[in-house]
Amino acid sequence: MLSSWSSGSQGESGREVHSLDPNLAAYNVTTLQAQIDRTIASDRLLATLTALLGILALLVATVGMYCVVAFAVASRTREIGIRMALGATHGGVLALILRESAALIAIGIAVGVPGALLLWIPARRAATVDPATTLRYD
């Protein structure tokens, strides 16, 4: 009988199969963990790329907020100078700019949190699906 096993090609698992039955053809003998790793490798890559893109989006949003606030301050330099000349303190000007920045952040949170919740609901539903029911559905 032909045997596909050759010493060294299948590793320890292949040698074990060959020792149990030398006539048994063993192809691509791997461990269960190796098969699982190979199966979910693309999902793991997609999750990693999604996380990296999420971090990049957060960084871009942060830089964007900085630019908006910096532009607002630069366009109001004259106004801020007049306020300071009329007796406004550094703390008062700082509080003015921070209040306006906080308003922008509050608007972002007011829009972002409901959006995240709307995305969380179907994701939670997908995570609670019973595999047996899904397999019977087809």
* pLDDT tens, position by position, 120-135: 898 888 888 888 877 7
Tokens of 76: 């109001």
Across 89-96, average pLDDT: 93
Contacts (Cβ under 8 Å, ≥6 apart) of 45? none
Q: What is the structure's pLDDT at 10?
A: 55
Taking residue 119's Cβ as centre, other Cβ atoms within 10 Å add up to 10
Angle formed by the axes of helices 32-75 and 90-127, nearest 10°: 150
- Mean pLDDT over residues 9-25, rounded? 74
Nearest in space to 83 (alpha carbons), one of 75, 92, 95, 74: 92
Residue keyed to tokens 């149990």: 20
Split at pLDDT 50, 70, 90, the class of 40 is very high
What's the pLDDT at 125? 87
pLDDT category at 137 given cuts 50, 70, 90 is low
| Higher per-residue confidence, 113 vs 1 | 113
> What is the structure's pLDDT at 20?
83
Decide if pLDDT at 93 tops 90: yes
